[in-house]
Amino acid sequence: MATSSETRSFDSRAFLKHVSEAPGVYRMLDADGEPLYVGKAKRLKARLASYFRNSGLNTKTRALVARICDIQVTVTHSETEALLLEQTLIKQQRPPYNILLRDDKSYPYVFVSDRHPFPALEFRRVRQKRSDGHYFGPFTSSAAVRESLALLQKIFRIRNCENSVFAHRTRPCLQYQIGRCTAPCVGYIEQQDYQRDLKHAVMCLEGKSDEVTRQLGVEMERAAESLEFEQAAWLRDQIQQLRRLQTQQAVDIEGGDADVFAFAQRPGGFCVTLLPIRQGRVLGSRHFTPSNGLDLSDGALLGELIGQYYIGGEREIPSEVITSHPVEDAQLLQSGLAARAGRAVRLTHQVRAHRAQWLQLARTNAEQHLATELASQQQLMRRFIELRDLLGLDEVPTRLECFDISHSHGEATVASCVVFDQNGPLKSDYRRFNIEGVTPGDDYAAMRQALERRYRRIASEDAKRPDLLIVDGGKGQLNMAREVLSQIEGIGALQVLGVAKGTTRRPGLETLFLETPEHSLEVDSTSSALHLIQHIRDEAHRFAITGHRQRRDKARRTSTLQEIPGVGPKRRRELLRYFGGLQGVKRASREDLARVPGISAQLAGQIHAALHGQG
């Protein structure tokens, strides 16, 4: 069913009278017939009617509706069929208001032939459905795959030449001369011996390098007993190289195949990070910053992204997909993934044990990538320019300073001062102030002391002054800051901005006070200038909390290894030997401590808590 419109206005009432109640897909078109948005619905009429209600639509949805000149709908038999069709259309037409991944790269794989008597480890971009061998992957980084292949070829001397080259060799190539190939092309190694080396390389790709190391150790001892010292030395070198490659990451301990999606958001941007797990090993990470044309919620955005990633593309779907947030229409999406994969697929956000560790790692990667993106110089410069325009300054500010206070019910009060220039955080100029002699919990007095100490020193040393001073607080903190500056001789005129949280304390609802409480600014939540202010405010908050915790923990921490119950001389010796000293023990995680002989998981937790002031 389709409707058309000769004019730019769209008669939604007439259109909705004839729309089906069945599930299906709808396409919203502009005046030129180009798609604006593609969506799916369990009940087409109810879903489309929601776009044309009089209230409750966000700004971006209203902008979309204003551009609609035609809507075309396709009825389907089920929601799952609608989901599959929706993602196909999005992939083909790439409407501007949909989630668009802009990621058409194929993942690299490692391929091993089953037919060739002396197969190579091959790098491949496309996984063929009908194949005469086995694929390992997918991996997220082609550079990492090539590096891994080079290492495996070096350790196990697997050939890396093309089959056509292999078939026409009459003498060994340079790879044999430098000890990186056993020259199977000219019969220098028996097929069973080559297959043994290949099997070891494949086991490493499958995450079984520990088992390979044990097998090589047995072979080395057997060779030594047989007085085959040259062979024993070669096996010894293989074991040493493998040991250097092995890590003790928790994500490598447990098996399983999964894709982990983590969503991270800060003022000014968001990021979704994919962490593919195969045979219990993390294969890398990939980051997405798709357009969010309709201001979708976290769960809706993740659902749209996952649907487009798998259903709209040709990617392998693992047996489990883990998300950092609950996904909207999770049951429908899970059914769609299962239909696409031809087998059961689990979609979940509630995980434990090693899967929880994977999810935490994905979150950490998402946060780190987003922080890096937000700190990019180009984006920062645009924010500084918009800040100048917002505050009506004569020039673009080059230096911002922001203060915040942190304490626990008045204990160990610390004030932070963070500095931003047009390249982002200037951490070399960050300062902390241990606040003394004030009433516990009096944030005004703590802020006054920090400002006085900071700007009296700047005035006396004629140090660099900020173009804008930002205080995390409302009218009271602003007035106090102005009073402190007026009492410091030689500091000059400093612009002061107070940042007051909204009634719900949600980001984007702040009120800004420039110079005086009467001069308030209410800024749109999408403003880049506001995002810059939020960024420096959040950084000041983080820096203050970190300093407070360090000061508090230093005062509380008295535990040493000798004072921890259950840690006697033998266990202390094992701990110090394993980590190379007391500092290594303190840096170790609970999981690392539990790997020490004689240290149980429970005791590892007690040691970690005692050394970090948590006991």
pLDDT tens by residue, 65-97: 888 888 888 878 778 878 877 877 887 788 888
- Both tokens of residue 560? 């040493």
| Residues 392, 402 contacting (CB under 8 angstroms) | no
- pLDDT band, residue 129 (cuts 50/70/90): low
| Residue 420, beta-bridge partner list | 400, 425
Enter the pTM of the model. Answer: 0.43
Look at the block and give the residue holding tokens 């206005």. 9
Which has the higher per-residue pLDDT, 430 or 615?
430
**Residue 610 corresponds to which amino acid?**
A
Residue 323: per-residue pLDDT: 92
Look at residue 288 and tell me whether its pLDDT is greater than 70.
yes
Cα separation, 410 vs 282, in Å, equals: 43
Residue 189 CA to residue 61 CA, distance in Å, equals 68
Per mean pLDDT, which range of 292-296, 434-438, 446-450 is the poorest?
292-296
Which among 337, 387, 587, 336 has a CA at the least distance from the CA of 497?
A: 387
Q: What is the pLDDT of residue 430?
A: 92
* Burial class for 138, CB neighbours closer than 10 Å (0-12, 13-18, 19+): buried
Both tokens of 404, joined, read 């915040």
**519, pLDDT greater than 90:** no
- Token pair of 221 as six digits: 């001892």
CB contact set of 161 (below 8 Å; sequence gap of 6+): 120, 169, 173, 175, 185
R_g over Cα of the chain: 31
pLDDT exceeds cutoff 50 at 249: no
The tokens describing 331, both together, are: 């049951």
What's the pLDDT score for residue 377? 61
Q: Which residues contact 530 (CB under 8 A, 6 or more apart)?
A: 267, 390, 508, 510, 512, 523, 524
In 515-557, DSSP assigns E strands to 520-522
In terms of residues, how long is the chain? Answer: 615
Confidence band, pLDDT 50/70/90 cuts, at residue 432: very high
Average pLDDT over all residues of the chain: 81
Could you tell me which residues are beta bridge partners of residue 2? 72
Would you call the peptide bond into 597 cis, given omega within 30 degrees of 0 as the criterion?
Answer: no
What type of residue is 276?
P
pLDDT higher than 70, residue 118: yes
Half-sphere exposure of residue 597: CA atoms within 13 angstroms, side-chain side: 5
- Per 3-state DSSP, what percentage of the chain is helix, strand, and coil (rounded to 5)? 45, 20, 35
Q: What is the pLDDT of residues 541-568, one digit of tens each?
A: 999 998 888 887 765 544 467 778 888 8
